[in-house]
Amino acid sequence: MRFPKSNKIISFYLIVFSSLSVFGQDGLLKVNDSTLSCTFDNKALNRLVKNDSLYKATLLLNDAISFSGKYNLKSTQAKAYYSLGKVLTKMSNYKNAESYHLKAYDIYQSINDSLGENLVLSGLVNTYLSSKNYSKFDSIYPKAQQVSKRLNTELYFVNLDFLIKKSYYSRLNDELLEQTEFAIDAIKNIDFDSLNFSEDKEKEGLKNKLLYSYKFNNAIAHVKSSAYKAESYKRLFSIDEEKLKLAFEDDFDAFRKLGTFNYYKYLYYSDVKKNLDSANLFLLKSDSYKYNALGDFEKRNARNGELIYKIINTQQKLDLANEIRKKDAKTSKAMLIIAIFTTFLLIITLAIFYFYIKAKRNSQAVNEALKASNEKLVAIDKDRQEFFSILSHELRTPVYGITGLATLVEQETDKNKQQSYLESLISSSNYLSILVDNILQANRLRFEEKNLRLKPDKIENIINHVISTIKVSAKDKGLKLITHIDPSNENEHILIDKVAFSQILINLVYNAIRYTQKGQVSINVFEKARSEKDVTLKFEVNDTGIGIKEEHREIVFNAFENKTFLHKNSSGSGLGLSIVKTLLKSHNSDIDFVSESGKGSSFFFEIKFNIALSLKLKKPIAIDSNLNNMHVLIVDDNKINLLITKKNIEKINGYTCETTSNGRLAISMVRARAFDLILMDINMPGMDGFEVTKHIRMFNSKIPILALTALNSNEISLKAKEIGINQIITKPYIFDDFKAIILSHNNGNENYYKQPMAVETM
C-alpha cells in the first residue's frame, strides 16, 4: 500500500497503531521514525533459534510476513520468508522450507536484490542437503556458488562446507579429500574483512568454524582414502578437540561428529598402536558423545513433530483471521461509497454496518480462542521440555556410572571390590538398556499397535529372567527380593510373548525398587482359573516403599502428566508405567493398584494364557551341548560386538567359530567351507544382513541363519522371515537365553554343507 505524501504522518501512526505486536519487545521488525520504514532484526531471530525457541520464532515470522505484505514492504517480506524457511529446515519440515525460500527468491528477483538472491540460494542448498535431496542439491549448488563468487560474499565458503558435508554423507572419500584440500587452501588465503557479508555475523569466528569443519572432514577423508594406514592419522591428531567443539557449537549434529572424531582415535590405538588402554579411553569418550547425540535426536524428533503440528494448526487459524480482516476491509469500503452517493443506500449501509460489527465480534472471539489455544500449546511445550530434561538426566546417570565403574574395575586390584564394581556395572547397563527400550517402545506404540509374538514357554522361566535382570539393583539398595509362583504341571507350557511380558514385569519391579528405600519387593503369581485350553494367572508386584497418594491415582500411568509426582519422589523418566498399561491392552488386560502413603504399594493384573497343548504330551527334548566340531560363522561389522559374540560362542562346549566383518566375504566363506550355523548382523554397510542372507539362500537353503541385531519391530521380523532367516536374537541378551537358542539349532554334528565350491568374486 502506498500513501500520498500529504498524509505521510497520518499513515505512519496508522502503521504503528495496527502493528503493536510486530514492534513489541520480542518483535522482529524495528521502525525508523525519520524514514517511516522498518527493518528486520536478524540478531533477535538468531537468539530465538539458538535458544531453541522455534515455535515463538515461527509465530513472530508469520506476524512479520503479514505486516510487511499488508504495507507492501517487499524487502522485509522477502527477509521474513527466507528466515521462516531457515527455521523450518532446522525443524526438518523441508517441503514447507523449500516453498518459503522460493517465495523469498521471487521477491528478491522482482526488486533486483542480488545479495538477497544469494542468501536464498544458500538457504536452498542447506535445505536440500539436510533433506538428502541430492538431485536438487546438484542443480542449485553451481548457481549458488556462481552468484556468491560474483558478489564476493562469505556464502561461497558456507556453500563449500555444504558440498563437503554432502560428500561425507555419501561416503565419496576421494571427492571429499579433494574438496577439503581445496577448501582449506582457499579459506586460508582469503581476508574475510574483504568479503561482502550477507548477514550480521562474527567474521573471524565464522572463518575459524568453517576452517575447523574443513579440517575435520579432511582428516576423516585422509584416513579412509589411505586404507587406515598409521601415517594417515596425523592430520586427525593435529586438530584441537576444544577448538573443534567451538566450531560445532551451532551444529545440531555436533555430538555425532565429536563421537566420530574420538572413534577414529580409538581405531588408531586399537588397530595401529594395539594400545587397548588408550583405545578404550577414546571408545568410552566416543560412546558418551554418541549417547548425547541419541538424546538430542530423540528430543529433536519429538519436538519437531509437536512444533510442526502446532505451527500448521496456528497457520490455519491465522489464515482464517486474515480472510475475515480482508472481508471487513471490503465491507467498510463499500459502506463509505454507499454513504457518500445516496441517502437511500444509507439504510443499506446501516444494515451492512450491523453485520460488520457482528463479524468483528466473531473475529474477536476467534482471536480470543486462538490466544487461549496458544497459551495451552506453550504450556504443553513446557511440559515436554521438562520431560526431556528429566530424560536427559536419566540417560546421563547410567552412562556416567558405566564409564566410571569401568575405570574403577581397571584400576582396582582387590578381586572382591572388582566383583562389586562389575555387579554395579551390570546394574547400570541393564537400567540403560531398559530405559532406551522404553523410549523406543513409547515412540513405536504411538504409531503402531503392538502385535504379540506368542511362543511356548514356562512362566517360571520368564520370572527367573526378570529376577536376573533386576537383582543387582535390589542388592545395591539392600532390598529383599521375594518371589512366589503357584505350582503347575511340570510339562505345561503357555503361549506367551516373552519380550513384551518381561518388559511389563521389569518396569513394574524397577519402579518398586526406585520408590523403596528399605524392606522388600515381591513378585507373586497366583492361578485364578483353569480350563482344558487356557489358564488365568494373577500377577502382583508389592513393595514397602513410599506409597502413592490417592490424588495421584489418575496420573501415575500418564507419561507426560505424572511430572508432579515424579519431581517430588524420584528422577525417573515416567515412561515405564505408561508402557506397562499400553502393553497390557495387547494382552486384553488392565492394571490397577492399592497403596498407602508411607507403607507401600501393590500393582496387580490378570491375563488369560492359552495352553500349548502339543507340549503337554511330549517329553522335554534334551539338547546335547557336548557335541564336537559345531562350527559357527559370525558376521558383524562392529569389532566389539564381534568379540563379545565370539567369546559367548566359545563358552559353549564343543563350539568353535570364525568371524568376518564383511558381508561379501561371508558369502564366499559359506561357499568355500562347512559351517553348522551363521550368526548374522542386520545393519551393516555395503551389503546388509538381509542381502547377505538372500545370496546364501540361493545356494544353501538348509543352514540355520540367526539374526543377531539391536533392531526390534514387526517390520524387521516379517522381512527376516521372508528372506529366510530362521530366528532373531535381540541385543542385548542374557547369556543363558542366547546359549539355549544356539543349542536349539544343533544339527546333530552333521554339517549342512560338506563339499567346498569354487569361490565367486563378489
- Per DSSP, the three-state class of 542 is strand
Distances, alpha carbon 279 to alpha carbons 235, 264, 290, 499, in Å? 18, 10, 16, 34
666: exposed, middle or buried (Cβ count in 10 Å: 0-12, 13-18, 19+): buried
Look at the block and give the residue holding cell 564381534.
642
- Per DSSP, the three-state class of 606 is strand
pLDDT > 50? residue 625: no
Average pLDDT score over residue span 682-686: 87
How far apart, in whole angstroms, are the C-alpha atoms of residue 84 and residue 61? 6
Within 13 Å and on the Cβ side, how many CA atoms surround 721?
A: 6
Contacts with 182 (C-beta within 8 Å, 6 or more apart), sequence order:
none
CATH classification of 453-616 is 3.30.565.10, yes or no? Answer: yes
Nearest alpha-carbon partner for 504 in 485, 521, 523, 528: 523
Are 366 and 327 a contacting pair, CB within 8 Å? Answer: no
Average pLDDT score over residue span 500-518: 89
| Domain spans of the chain, in order of start | 252-411, 453-616, 630-744
Planar angle of CA 48, 50, 56, nearest 5 degrees: 25
98: exposed, middle or buried (Cβ count in 10 Å: 0-12, 13-18, 19+): buried
How far apart, in whole angstroms, are the C-alpha atoms of residue 560 and residue 551? 17
- Per DSSP, the three-state class of 530 is strand
How far apart, in whole angstroms, are the C-alpha atoms of residue 218 and residue 264? 13
Residue 198: what pLDDT? 77
Instruction: Name residue 664's amino acid.
Output: R
Residue 381: what pLDDT? 65
Are 244 and 258 a contacting pair, CB within 8 Å? Answer: yes
| Residue with the larger pLDDT of the pair 412 and 572 | 412
Nearest alpha-carbon partner for 633 in 677, 667, 581: 677
How far apart, in whole angstroms, are the C-alpha atoms of residue 3 and residue 18? 15
pLDDT tier at 452, thresholds 50, 70, 90: confident
- What region does 40 belong to: left with phi over 0, alpha with psi -120 to 50, or beta? beta
How far apart, in whole angstroms, are the C-alpha atoms of residue 350 and residue 342? 13
How far apart, in whole angstroms, are the C-alpha atoms of residue 323 and residue 125? 34
- Per DSSP, the three-state class of 482 is strand
Are 625 and 651 a contacting pair, CB within 8 Å? Answer: no
- Per DSSP, the three-state class of 730 is strand
Residue 601: what pLDDT? 92
Nearest alpha-carbon partner for 243 in 222, 227, 258: 258
Give the phi and the psi of residue 358 in degrees, each rounded to 5. -60, -45
Residue 753: what pLDDT? 42
Within 13 Å and on the Cβ side, how many CA atoms surround 153?
A: 23
Contacts with 241 (C-beta within 8 Å, 6 or more apart), sequence order:
258, 261, 262
How far apart, in whole angstroms, are the C-alpha atoms of residue 395 and residue 318? 39
pLDDT > 50? residue 760: no
| Residue with the larger pLDDT of the pair 496 and 405 | 496
Average pLDDT score over residue span 687-696: 94
pLDDT > 50? residue 268: yes
How far apart, in whole angstroms, are the C-alpha atoms of residue 672 and residue 685? 23
| Residue with the larger pLDDT of the pair 17 and 337 | 337
**Could you name the CATH architecture of 630-744?**
3-Layer(aba) Sandwich (3.40)
Average pLDDT score over residue span 705-720: 81
51: exposed, middle or buried (Cβ count in 10 Å: 0-12, 13-18, 19+): exposed
Q: Characterize the bridge pairing of strands 455-457 and 480-485.
A: unpaired
Give per-residue burial for 591-624: e unless 16+ CB within 10 Å, then b: bebebeeeebbbbbbbbbbebbeebeeeeeeeee
Give the phi and the psi of residue 161 in degrees, each rounded to 5. -65, -40
Residue 29: what pLDDT? 61
pLDDT-above-90 percentage for the chain = 25
Are 669 and 660 a contacting pair, CB within 8 Å? Answer: yes
Within 13 Å and on the Cβ side, how many CA atoms surround 543?
A: 24
Average pLDDT score over residue span 644-648: 92
How far apart, in whole angstroms, are the C-alpha atoms of residue 697 and residue 2? 75
| Residue with the larger pLDDT of the pair 562 and 711 | 711
Are 745 and 706 a contacting pair, CB within 8 Å? Answer: yes
pLDDT tier at 385, thresholds 50, 70, 90: low
How far apart, in whole angstroms, are the C-alpha atoms of residue 160 and residue 166? 10
Distances, alpha carbon 298 to alpha carbons 261, 430, 465, in Å? 22, 20, 29
Helical (H) or strand (E) element with 630: strand 630-635
| Residue with the larger pLDDT of the pair 21 and 344 | 344
Residue 4: what pLDDT? 41
| Residue with the larger pLDDT of the pair 228 and 422 | 228
N-term to C-term CA, the chain: 68
Residue 663: what pLDDT? 92
Name the least confident of 16-20, 354-358, 496-500, 591-595. Answer: 16-20
What nine digits make up the cell of 27?
518483535
Planar angle of CA 10, 16, 19, nearest 5 degrees: 135
Task: Report pTM.
Answer: 0.42
Are 76 and 68 a contacting pair, CB within 8 Å? Answer: yes
Q: What is the mean pLDDT of the chain?
A: 78
- Per DSSP, the three-state class of 608 is strand
- What region does 591 belong to: left with phi over 0, alpha with psi -120 to 50, or beta? beta
Are 263 and 286 a contacting pair, CB within 8 Å? Answer: yes
Residue 308: what pLDDT? 52
pLDDT > 80? residue 712: no
How far apart, in whole angstroms, are the C-alpha atoms of residue 730 and residue 375? 44
Are 269 and 279 a contacting pair, CB within 8 Å? Answer: yes
What nine digits make up the cell of 162?
555444504
pLDDT > 60? residue 34: no
Q: What is the pLDDT of residues 61-101, one digit of tens each?
A: 788 888 888 888 888 888 888 888 888 888 888 999 999 99
How far apart, in whole angstroms, are the C-alpha atoms of residue 224 and residue 208? 24
Q: Characterize the bridge pairing of strands 494-496 and 534-543.
A: unpaired
Are 467 and 481 a contacting pair, CB within 8 Å? Answer: yes
For the chain, counts of helices (H) and of strands (E): 26, 14
Instruction: Name residue 291's amino acid.
Output: Y
How far apart, in whole angstroms, are the C-alpha atoms of residue 13 and residue 29? 16
Nearest alpha-carbon partner for 603 in 671, 678, 680, 547: 547
How far apart, in whole angstroms, are the C-alpha atoms of residue 541 and residue 524? 7
Residue 497: what pLDDT? 86
Instruction: Name residue 199's amino acid.
Output: E
How far apart, in whole angstroms, are the C-alpha atoms of residue 256 and residue 162? 17
How far apart, in whole angstroms, are the C-alpha atoms of residue 18 and residue 311? 23
Which DSSP category does 519 fall into?
Answer: S
User: Which residues are bridge partners to 631 per DSSP?
Assistant: 656
Same fold for the pair 453-616 and 630-744 = no
Look at the block and give the residue holding cell 562474527.
202
